[in-house]
Every structure is written in structure tokens, then in C-alpha cells.
Amino acid sequence: MAIDPDQPIAFSRLHRLQWEEAQQKYVILYPEGLVELNLSSAEILKCCDGSHTLAQIIGELEEKFATEGLSHDITAFLEVALHNGWIAQN
């Protein structure tokens, strides 16, 4: 599954992204399931608000962390996220 560069990316309506105080990490919650996220994965998913495209998300994160060259890692992670149903495109 590949990300459509022209479509905005939204977090799945059937999952919930949530900060867990006891574990000090973000988790994805879905029916009877739980995925613990590392910090960079959580940062990427938080940008999936249904209004930003792949290029915009990359730009936003490179600016936020004052770095370049995140394109490959972010794209690869979002493809996994799409495959797992954590994000969706219309």
C-alpha cells in the first residue's frame, strides 16, 4: 500500500491515539488491542489530522525538529501505518 501524495492523511476513526501517563508513552488503542509507540512515530501520527498531505507533514516535522532528510523515514512509517489501518486517505 502506498501513500497518495495528493490526498490529506487522517488518523483512523476506528483507532484512538492517546498519551499514557503510567507508561510515559503514546499508544494506539483499538478493539482489544494496544500498540506502544516510540516518540518519533507518535509525532508523525499526531500530524495526521485529515488536512495535511504527506509533503506537508514532512515539511512540518523537519521544521519542528530543525532538521532535513526525514522524507524517507516518515514515508516508510506512514506506509506501515496505512497497512495497519492506523491512518486513512479518502
Residues 6+ apart with CB under 8 A from 1: 79, 82, 83
Using rule CB under 8 A, residue 5 touches other proteins: no
Q: Can you tell me which residue has the cell 510515559?
A: 24
From 2, 8, 10, 13, residue interacting with other proteins (rule: CB under 8 A): 13
Q: How many CA atoms lie within 13 A of 79 on its CB side?
A: 10
Using rule CB under 8 A, residue 50 touches other proteins: no
Q: End-to-end distance of the chain based on CA atoms, in angstroms? A: 14
Using rule CB under 8 A, residue 23 touches other proteins: yes
From 4, 64, 80, 85, residue interacting with other proteins (rule: CB under 8 A): 85
What is the binding site for other proteins (CB under 8 A)?
1, 13-14, 16, 18, 20, 22-23, 27, 29-34, 85
